[in-house]
């Protein structure tokens, strides 16, 4: 039996004053592209951060392509640095003090210093070209359009050849008019990437464009998708 | 001409610059370190610690000087220990003046440093982690470059404050000409002794240095870097 691409069991409770929220999900899937859909506050970001190692679940395990990232019973918890994942943040989290080129090359250079403004790396050049960012290489993120920011952030995540890609609401920071076009562009690109991918969204249009399998998250639990959604995602 | 060159005002100026420079360097390390700790750390007693660290800003310098004297004096807990184990005595030395000036100016570095670190978007640091960069790399490549302007503004203020320090310095280091007599102290002594010429020169020198510091601050400070 082949190892499943996604094998997760996560339980985590967050407390803030008298309120508490608990995420409790088990997920087993062989699909390469998975979409987790749900309203805001359902725990989607918490799930994604747990996979990336940015927060630590109370119990459970996380395995991607058979590689164990977290296992509470065996005391395994890899740091985010060790997980080697690509993460596309909701508002892209580009480093405002670094140029497009420096942003993309950020993870390729270890140590205490940022890559120099003039430093040319073949892998960075490849993605600059592939995403049509070549002429913008020396600009700062503040001068870019929403779509250009998204591509820069995606290039930054992909340049180090991550083992999986996590996408947090990739279109919510964009102009609605742009969303549809960029959705199909990103869907095309992701089709060609052989790595597991998990996208979280609260936008039903994202569900239609991505994902071979859609899971519905509500109040921290995976539930049966509402009827309307199932139809569209199969259509 | 020779008379002008050997004026004790220059000695006092040199000493003041040395004391303020060392105090600022000390505050760069302490203020930035403690600012980061309180901006990021979550531990009990954090608010109390913040209050204690801000106290030097509102306390009279003579009170601070008295505390230092009690602490660092030969019979004080720290001073006694230093004297016994290393034969170090800080009272009535220029190094003592550095400690006094550093203490008085500390909140001027700590406060803006802490605010600057708190203003850095935590998500950028998370992005750095996911990209495989170590915690120390994240500090030097993301946190510090983004907080730097706020810290620099604090350091310049602290330098100016340390340069003008009078009360605590006099308590701890005294007023030994050529050894611990800084510009501010020298001005006071000159006026007390009725040496108007000397006082005029010292005041002129101090004013010039202050204008220079301000001009330098204008060159380095926010604005220029922000444009890029």
Residues B143-192 have pLDDT tens digits of: 999 999 889 888 988 999 999 899 999 999 999 888 899 999 999 999 99
Residue B215 pLDDT? 82
pLDDT, tens digit, for every residue of A170-203?
998 888 888 888 888 888 888 888 899 999 999 8
- Residue of B122, B126, B130, B146 for testing the chain A interface, max A β-carbons within 10 Å: B130
Q: Please give the Cα distance from A137 to B200 (Å, whole number).
A: 57
Domain spans in chain A, listed from the N-terminal domain onward:
98-161
114-173 in chain B: CB under 8 A from chain A:
121, 123-124, 126-134, 136-137, 140-142, 145-146
State the first-to-last Cα distance of chain A, in angstroms, to the nearest integer: 30
- A110–B132: do the CB atoms touch at under 8 Å? yes
- A110–B137: do the CB atoms touch at under 8 Å? yes
Residue A235 pLDDT? 36
Q: Please give the Cα distance from B215 to A71 (Å, whole number).
A: 58
Q: Among all residues of chain B, which has the CA nearest to that of A80?
A: B130
Kindly give, in sequence order, each residue whose CB lies less than 8 Å from that of residue B132, ignoring residues fewer than 6 positions away: A81, A84, A107, A110, A160
- Residue of B128, B132, B134, B137 for testing the chain A interface, max A β-carbons within 10 Å: B132
Which chain B positions have a beta carbon within 8 Å of A95's beta carbon? 124, 127, 142
- B133–A112: do the CB atoms touch at under 8 Å? no
Total length of chain B:
228
Q: In what helix (H) or strand (E) does residue A36 lie, and over which residues does it extend? A: strand A33-37
Is the CB of residue A80 less than 8 Å from the CB of residue B123?
no
Alpha-carbon gap: B123 to the closest alpha carbon of chain A (Å): 6
Helix (H/G/I), strand (E/B), else coil: B176: coil
* Domains within chain B, CATH numbers bracketed: 2-61+92-222 (1.10.3720.10)
- Residue of A84, A86, A87, A93 for testing the chain B interface, max B β-carbons within 10 Å: A93
Mean pLDDT, range A4-21, rounded to an integer: 91
Looking at chain A, the whole-number percentage of residues with pLDDT higher than 90 is: 62
Residue A176 pLDDT? 83
Can you tell me the ipTM of this complex?
A: 0.90
Mean pLDDT, range B83-87, rounded to an integer: 89
Among candidate residues B166, B167, B113, B172, the one with its CA nearest the CA of residue B143: B113
Q: Is the pLDDT of residue A159 over 70?
A: yes
Q: Please give the Cα distance from A215 to A86 (Å, whole number).
A: 21
By Cβ distance, the residue of B127, B146, B228 closest to A140 is: B228
């Amino acid at each position: 039996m082949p190892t499943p691409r996604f094998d997760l069991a996560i339980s985590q409770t967050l407390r803030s004053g008298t309120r508490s929220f608990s995420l409790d999900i088990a997920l087993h899937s062989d699909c390469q592209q998975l979409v987790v859909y749900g309203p805001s506050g359902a725990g989607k970001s918490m799930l994604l951060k747990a996979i990336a190692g940015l927060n630590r679940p109370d119990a459970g395990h996380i395995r991607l392509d058979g590689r164990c990232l977290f296992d509470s019973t065996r005391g395994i918890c890899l740091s985010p640095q060790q997980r080697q994942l690509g993460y596309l943040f909701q508002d892209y989290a580009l480093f405002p003090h670094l140029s497009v080129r420096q942003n993309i090359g950020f993870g390729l250079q270890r140590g205490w210093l940022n890559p120099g403004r003039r430093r040319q790396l073949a892998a960075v050049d490849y993605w600059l070209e592939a995403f049509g960012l070549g002429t913008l290489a020396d600009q700062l993120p503040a001068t870019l359009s929403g779509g250009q920011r998204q591509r820069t952030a995606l290039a930054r995540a992909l340049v180090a050849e991550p083992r999986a890609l996590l996408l947090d609401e990739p279109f919510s920071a964009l102009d609605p008019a742009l969303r549809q076009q960029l959705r199909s562009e990103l869907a095309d690109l992701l089709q060609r990437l052989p790595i597991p991918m998990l996208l979280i969204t609260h936008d039903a249009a994202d569900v239609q464009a991505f994902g071979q399998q859609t899971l519905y998250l509500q109040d921290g639990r995976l539930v049966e998708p509402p009827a309307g959604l199932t139809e569209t995602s199969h259509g | 001409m020779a008379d002008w060159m050997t004026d004790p005002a220059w000695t006092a100026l040199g000493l003041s610059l040395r004391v303020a420079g060392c105090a600022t360097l000390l505050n760069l390390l302490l203020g930035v370190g403690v600012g980061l700790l309180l901006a990021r750390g979550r531990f009990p007693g954090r608010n109390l610690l913040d209050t204690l660290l801000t106290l030097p800003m509102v306390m009279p310098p003579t009170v601070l000087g008295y505390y230092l004297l009690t602490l660092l004096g030969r019979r004080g807990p720290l001073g006694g220990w230093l004297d016994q184990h290393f034969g170090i005595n800080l009272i009535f030395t220029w190094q003592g003046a550095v400690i006094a000036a550093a203490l008085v100016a500390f909140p001027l570095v700590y406060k803006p440093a802490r605010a600057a670190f708190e203003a850095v978007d935590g998500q950028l640091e998370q992005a750095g982690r996911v990209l495989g960069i170590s915690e120390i790399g994240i500090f030097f490549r993301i946190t510090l470059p983004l907080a730097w302007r706020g810290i620099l503004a604090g350091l310049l203020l602290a330098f100016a404050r340390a340069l003008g320090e009078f009360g605590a310095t006099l308590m701890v280091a005294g007023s030994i000409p050529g050894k611990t007599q800084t510009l501010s102290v020298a001005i006071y002594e000159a006026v007390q002794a009725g040496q108007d010429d000397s006082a005029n020169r010292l005041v002129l020198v101090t004013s010039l240095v202050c204008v220079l510091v301000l001009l330098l601050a204008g060159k380095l400070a926010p604005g220029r870097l922000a444009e890029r």
